[in-house]
Chain A
């Protein structure tokens, strides 16, 4: 592959954020027709590098060179417009689509003189041609808000191809896809590369990197840890390059399930003007972890809202310790010993401008532990916070530091400290390790397993199948608001779960309990 011309070259890119060096003298070349994987843990500097390449950030040192008519030329830093013009297309992890416009409108956006008329026909013809060549089939006239995640991603890729991109960058493109949809994406990418496109594929998932790429560049802690040809790569070696040190496997002992603590019985939920859940039944038993798999947006948030006390079933019954829950009250759930970790911890988990101590006490602030006659007991709050900081290794300047200054991993530890300290009987862990580095991940997993072993009933919702395999005693899959029966995780393979996530298969015989 390295015999084709270089499309893009990064030379010694360095980017600092205050004392943190996000990228340290990183260089790479991308050739025509090549799929280059950028592999690394969260926080390794992948996204920063791509944001520099695309002009969202300005590098402190180094150059981005792109092949133009006169050979390789440096891009002016900090200009997405220049990057686009030079033929770089980027598909962000969070889509950059105007949801109130059609797919075609999003593709045309910014490609025509601002005051011009009647160019839609030409645009449509060109997009149709690209669709035919690439296989990226999608309805161009529907509002983006009404498209599925996979379709939105296709619009994003079409946006780049419509601008005659020479280089396509995809940032964690499979995070929102089922395994089958991801396979479909790989087919498209191989086809595009065969037609001469250069592709940079950013991922932290080793398996798919090995499946789709020609060459792999491993980043670790902001520096280039290694560069290798995929065909010669050894899985174990890459994993070591990526992580840098051997991470102790979390040891798991078999579950000893006890009585049912939380039960969904034919639960349906209507939320946001649509049916979020229909006829869901599920039992969470003491001393057992249930893993909930599914493509995001298939009903996970409905289940999480119910267990968080933010909603009550529209029909059917949710029973906590055998009693039907009649009223949506997060406070009642907290008081009843339900620990809840929110999916979006920065948004729902902490009040950023309040202190660590405030955020640890926030669920309990009315209890006698932290207030008397409506007056706060600041001393008790600070003591509790100090204990939590020590016990859960929350890295922060102290109990009075504002929570917004904490990193994602430390916010999650803060939330763990807040909810686990009360020895909860039921635990909802919604995307418990999303965005955390390996060390923090292991810590969170250890805490969750310890809570299970203590006798808590746990539901783990995750998009990361590896995480579910590491934690879950039983598996359920949610698709289109319906839940599969819960089966033991032993004997399950990823393919089966993937099909269930896509709604194409019932659990195999033997799983259904």
Chain B
């Protein structure tokens, strides 16, 4: 008995869903090992996580609140990865977007909410986009790899934000905390429901996913992004402006990450601080990969990842198992989905080799 790999001609939507689902389940099974080693019961732990993430209106709101930035950073990564632009800098772009929101929205402009909110969002989008356009230009002009540059820029940006919130942007009324002046009321995103933290950023994220989905399928830009991502040489040969398309992708990608930052400042915190994001940018990579880079799938996988984090926090309080378990689930899900992508490309065939006479 031996096995052999056959390339698949086509991977159906059903198969893709199955693989994603299987990857999530395998990841949860693997995480049972550390849960057991920490002296917990996996079934109880997962039960508590589900309850913590979805068990009440409050829990659900917390989960969706957490999913909001993840949808946007997930979309940021999905659109970039499709074009083979390795944007690992969503974390930094998120902060820059948040910074732009604070710059525009903390009193510099006085507009009614109907104008103020879009202004803040556009500012955050453009600032985040610029943060990705720069490494893309560097890649095109100097040939320097965008992976390392966007990664390193994350560290630079966070230090820069620290500097600002301890310096020029520092709120004099913050009693010494390193946080920026707050947004004016007109710039804040309204809550979706009273007394719950969910805010309009969630709607922005879902709409962004729908727009991207339509863009990929129905527009010339989407066509060009696919061509450039799948085969740059052929796209260039066929007359598609490769560099310009990449810059558009960079702007959209960084812009979406920037919007995530706007959402956190304008929808949740109300001010900027250097601990605004617990790694939403990095989790966005996982969200996008779990979704197979599909915009609609990104919404679902963002909710999954958010639920893991929110559920793990609540489970951790109840059982004493470290909440780093959530990071473990997320990391393992990513690797499982990666392995799953292998089965999307190949079909494993078991067979008996016929030995010649």
Contact = CB atoms under 8 A, between A and B. Distances in A.
**Chains A and B form a bound pair:** yes
Contacts of B224: 365
B242 to A, nearest CB: 10
A342 interface: yes
B220 interface: yes
Size category of the binding interface on chain B: 20 to 34
A348 B236 CA distance: 8
B226 A308 contact: no
Given A11-B356, A310-B237, 16 more contacts: A59-B356, A61-B356, A62-B356, A331-B240, A342-B237, A348-B234, A349-B234, A351-B230, A354-B230, A358-B226, A362-B240, A363-B238, A365-B220, A365-B240, A366-B220, A376-B222
B237 A60 contact: no
A392 to B, nearest CB: 18
A303 to B, nearest CB: 15
A350 interface: yes
Given A334-B239, A349-B237, A376-B219, A12 B230 contact: no
A18 B237 CA distance: 33
Contacts of A59: 356
Given A351-B231, A402-B10, A330 B219 contact: no
Contacts of A60: 353-354
B230 A330 contact: no
10 contacts: A310-B236, A331-B240, A331-B241, A332-B239, A349-B234, A349-B237, A350-B231, A362-B234, A374-B221, A402-B10
Interface string B217-251: 01111111011001101111111110000000000
Looking at A342, A362, A402, the one whose CB has the most chain B CB atoms below 10 A away is: A362
Contacts of A363: 238-239
Contacts of A366: 220
B164 to A, nearest CB: 38
A430 to B, nearest CB: 11
Contacts of A362: 227, 234-235, 238, 240
Contacts of B218: 375-376
A25 B190 CA distance: 75
A376 to B, nearest CB: 6
Interface of B: 6, 9-10, 218-224, 226-227, 230-231, 233-241, 353-354, 356
Nearest to B221: A374
Interface string A333-356: 110000010100001111111100
B217 to A, nearest CB: 8
Interface string A313-334: 0000000000000000111111
Contacts of B10: 402
A354 B354 CA distance: 37
A408 interface: no
Contact of B239 (A12, A331, A351): A331
A24 interface: no
A63 interface: yes
Nearest to A397: B9
B226 A351 contact: yes
Nearest to A371: B220
A333 B238 CA distance: 10
A309 interface: yes
Nearest to B228: A351
Nearest to A418: B238
A438 interface: no
B356 A376 contact: no
Contacts, number: 82
B219 A375 contact: yes
A374 B221 CA distance: 7
A405 interface: yes
Nearest to A332: B239
A333 B235 CA distance: 14
Interface string A354-379: 10001000110110000100111000
Interface centre among A62, A347, A365, by most B CB within 10 Å? A365
Interface in A369-419: 371, 374-376, 402, 405
Contact of A374 (B220, B238, B240): B220
A65 to B, nearest CB: 11
The 8 closest A-B pairs by CB, nearest first: A331-B239, A330-B239, A351-B231, A362-B238, A348-B237, A61-B356, A353-B230, A351-B230
A354 B353 CA distance: 35
A366 B354 CA distance: 54
A405 B231 contact: no
Contacts of B227: 351, 354, 358, 362
A365 B223 contact: yes
Interface in A55-96: 58-63
A270 B239 CA distance: 22
Contacts of A376: 218-220, 222-223
A354 B356 contact: no
Contacts of A333: 239
Interface string A1-37: 0000000000110000010000000000000000000
- Indicate the member of B219, B226, B356 with the most A CB atoms within 10 Å: B356
Nearest to A345: B234
B220 A347 contact: no
Nearest to B231: A351
Contacts of A308: 237
B293 to A, nearest CB: 12
B237 A352 contact: no
A177 B239 CA distance: 33
Contacts of B356: 11-12, 59, 61-63
Contacts of A375: 218-220
A165 B197 CA distance: 76
A348 B238 CA distance: 8
Interface in A119-158: none
Contact of A351 (B6, B219, B234, B354): B234
A354 B226 contact: yes
A407 to B, nearest CB: 14
A352 B219 contact: no
Contacts of B240: 331, 362, 365
Contacts of A374: 219-221
A331 B220 CA distance: 15
A333 B353 CA distance: 53
A188 B6 CA distance: 41
B233 A348 contact: yes
Residue with the highest number of chain B CB atoms closer than 10 Å, among A310, A334, A340, A376: A376
A350 B231 CA distance: 8
A353 to B, nearest CB: 5
